[in-house]
Amino acid sequence: MASDADAPPKAFSGRVKLTARWLGPILGRDRQRGLLETIEHRLEAERDQLALWLPVALGAGIALWLVLPDRIAWLAAMVVLAGVALTGAAVGTGLRIGRAIMVAGLAGLVGMVVIWNRADWVASPRIDRPLVVQVEGRIETIERMPAHERVRLTIQSDPGLLPPRIRINVDEADMPDGVIGGARISVRARLLPPAPAAVPGGYDYARTAWFLGIGATGKALDKPAIDASAVGGGFSTWLADRRARLTAHIEERVDGASAGGIAAAFATGDQGAIEEQDAEAIRRSGLAHLLSVSGLHVSAVVAGVMLLTLRLLALSPSLALRAPLLLIAAGAGALAGIFYTLLSGAQVPTIRSCVAALLVLAGIAMGREAITLRLVAAGALIVLLIWPEALAGPSFQLSFAAVTALVAFLEHPRVAAFARRRDEGWLMRFGRSVAVLLLSGLVIEAALAPIALFHFHKSGLYGAAANIVAIPLTTFVILPLEALALLLDSVGIGAPVWWLVSKALAFLLWLAHLVGDAPGAVAMMPSMAWGAFALMVLGGLWIALWRTGIRRWGVASLAVGMVWAILSPAPDLLVTGDGRHVAIVLGDGRVALLRERAGDYIRDVLSEAAGVDGDPLPIDALRAVRCSADLCTARLRRGGREWRLLATRSPYLVDIRRMNHACASADIAISDRRLPRSCVPRWLKIDRPYLARSGGLAIDLERAHVDSVAAHVGRHPWTPFQE
């Protein structure tokens, strides 16, 4: 029998009655009242968690704007979100369910407004066709990439016909030594519009460039003329110069090109000196997050400075008794974190990590618990309001997913009870710590796997094991030794410590190759549908953010998204947006390319989009393919029928009668140039005019379905596709 304490308050009962009266004609008063009471009691039990969903609702609005295709769809979505907010108000702001619905609708609406306004605010001119021009202006940033034998320059061009910001690559041999940001430059370059995704599901650099204000990219055609005496730019230029000098100093002091590049990446975020084979091993082993200056590095710097300051100040008895040492140490840590963020380039991921660290320090200064899900939510809210476009990037998703999963896991009552310190032997204490570390790594890997598969089409399977060694090695050995070596270099005695840094980095690289080259180290998946990814993200958040039994409902969403992603078929054909590169997906873990001399970037993009781990084959190696210097024909058995393909692979014209006959016998004709009107294949004609409207293509022959980059991009401001 229920006690009086279990009965709902009279005010609550009155609000439920009022709401049930409003909804009664729809589903019946009694049923509505019972449903509302059940929901209200569940939300009351989760009242401390409701605020965590605010950044989720804001992010959902941002995601809607990014996914929906055009202005009409955006306005319609905003009307729907406004209707959701009004529905919540109608249900009743006196009820938690009413307030939750209203706030969720308003937050989603704010998210759409923020990202739309941000996209318009950063709008900048850009070129719409290739150009060969003389570029003159001032160098903003210099990214040296010795592993690729080039230097990447971001240039603020002089007022004129060119976009205000341009990014070009210069051959390393043509770049003078000692050049710093702010110098004047004049160089002849071939410029291109910022490139969209090469194929559906690929990396959309055009979107990234839009929010960075970059209107053209390209390559220098001759040696640039640089006037270092005309340097300008103030503090940002000085900081960029210090960063470049520090990078060069670290790379010089550490043995091994890749080891030096990793050491420089830890300090300045510059990864240009890491050899490609080593970078690939790091990615395959799940250690790539170590190279990007983010939460791990900022936390290590802040914690190290804070601890050192606290210990040094505590040496004075008078200060220890009279001064607020913890507050002073937190302030020193905050200053160190801000300086490190600026030194490493102040990229959005680093700024985001710095903001989170400052929130932690504020919590410590106020005597609050340092790391909670509320802190994570506050950090996400700040970032999304200032840089809403960050939501679409893998960096934001990976970092916040990792932190959210880790904090939610450690806050679970059973885990917290298991990890709590107790009076026991050192062996049990050590074993307990290792178990928590291993389980934390597995939870983080599980949280990151869908994001890695969505963005990169691959996920390391042994990353948890590798990170158990790599994260402590980086945090407690490499970073402190590197900081000590830089400090000792000021008096010229850092060489012994740099030797230790080199050995530790050599071990880290050995670990990356050991794990990355292991059989089955990487799981591959072709391009994932937005819906499957959204269901997995929703399921993961539902499990992480709720505390009562309703969190189990997230398993259903997660499972449906996983099954959807796994069962999504790989494309049979991939065509890049320029029409030059065609990949046939063979279905047995291999891909065949039309042009054998395709660059490494294109080869990787096509293999990953097909969900294939391995080097592509030349199309000539297939038995059902016949190629000449100008044309290739292929026969594929898909969907119970034979498909005939025709593709050009040279810039030379083919005899029109031969071309027309080949087109007439083909189901699909593909070319990087305009095909003649008399070329009429049986199903699909893919040439330059077609690709100008569609962008890159992924073709499923079994379902006769064509997916395009243009369909993914829609009519967003950065879309390069013609109507």
pLDDT digits (tens, 9 = 90+) for 347-378: 666 776 777 777 777 777 766 666 678 888 88
Q: Whole-angstrom Cα distance, residue 581 to residue 577? A: 8
* 3-state secondary structure at position 608: helix
Q: Whole-angstrom Cα distance, residue 316 to residue 7? A: 59
In the block, tokens 């990439």 appear at: 145
- 91 CB burial (10 A radius; 0-12, 13-18, 19+): buried
Q: What is the pLDDT of residue 234?
A: 63
For 228-271, what is each residue's pLDDT tens digit? 666 655 666 677 777 778 888 888 889 887 888 888 888 887 88
Q: Which residues have C-beta within 8 Å of that of residue 556, sequence separation ≥ 6?
A: 539
Structure tokens that stand for 525 in this block: 């998946």
pLDDT at position 122 over 60: yes
Q: What is the pTM of this model?
A: 0.86
Structure tokens that stand for 289 in this block: 């997050």
CB 115 within 8 A of CB 107: no
For 37-56, what is each residue's pLDDT tens digit? 777 788 888 888 889 999 99
118 sits in which H/E element = helix 96-121
List 139's β-bridge partners, or say none.
155
Q: Whole-angstrom Cα distance, residue 709 to residue 723? A: 14
Q: How many CB atoms lie within 10 A of CB 600?
A: 8
List 188's β-bridge partners, or say none.
134
pLDDT band at 26; cut points 50, 70, 90: very low
Q: How many CB atoms lie within 10 A of CB 409?
A: 20
> What are the E-state strand segments in 450-543?
458-460, 522-524
Q: What is the pLDDT of residue 468?
A: 79
CA torsion sign, 306 to 309 to 315 to 321? negative
Q: What is the pLDDT of residue 115?
A: 96
Q: Whole-angstrom Cα distance, residue 601 to residue 599? A: 5
Q: What is the pLDDT of residue 494?
A: 86
Nearest to 663 by CA among 686, 641, 640: 686
Q: How many CB atoms lie within 10 A of CB 597?
A: 8
Q: Whole-angstrom Cα distance, residue 292 to residue 283? A: 12
pLDDT at position 101 over 60: yes
Q: Give Rg (Cα) of the chain.
A: 29
Average pLDDT over residues 83-107: 88
Q: Whole-angstrom Cα distance, residue 645 to residue 553? A: 47
Q: Whole-angstrom Cα distance, residue 9 to residue 462? A: 53
Q: What is the pLDDT of residue 6?
A: 42
Helix (H), strand (E), coil (C) string for 481-499: HHHHHHHHHCCCCCHHHHH
For 465-481, what is each residue's pLDDT tens digit? 788 788 888 888 898 89
For 285-302, what is each residue's pLDDT tens digit? 888 777 776 666 777 788
Residue type, 239: L
Q: What is the pLDDT of residue 708?
A: 93
pLDDT band at 722; cut points 50, 70, 90: low
Q: What is the pLDDT of residue 235?
A: 66
The b-or-e profile of 221-238 (16+ CB within 10 A means b, else e) is eeebebeeeebebeeebe
Q: What is the pLDDT of residue 5?
A: 41
pLDDT at position 642 over 50: yes
Q: How many CB atoms lie within 10 A of CB 418?
A: 12
Q: Whole-angstrom Cα distance, residue 428 to residue 575? A: 57
Residue type, 293: V
Q: What is the pLDDT of residue 709?
A: 93
Diameter of the chain by CA atoms? 97
Q: How many CB atoms lie within 10 A of CB 217?
A: 23
Q: What is the pLDDT of residue 32?
A: 61
pLDDT band at 31; cut points 50, 70, 90: low
- Across the chain, mean pLDDT equals 84
For 449-461, what is each residue's pLDDT tens digit? 899 889 888 887 7
Q: Which residue has the higher pLDDT, 558 or 655?
A: 558
Residue type, 202: G
- 513 CB burial (10 A radius; 0-12, 13-18, 19+): middle
Supply φ then ψ for residue 707, to 5 degrees. -105, 140
